[in-house]
Amino acid sequence: PGLYLQVVVVTDYADGELYQVLEDDGSLPEEQVRAIAVQLVSALHYLHSHRILHRDMKPQNILVGKAGVVKLCDFG
Among candidate residues 12, 24, 25, 56, the one labeled active-site is 56
Q: Is 50 left (phi over 0), alpha (psi -120 to 50) or beta?
A: alpha
Asked whether the beta carbons of 76 and 56 are under 8 A apart, the reply is yes
Active site residue 56: yes
Q: What span, in angstroms and rounded, lies between the C-alpha atoms of 35 and 43? A: 12
Active site residues: 56
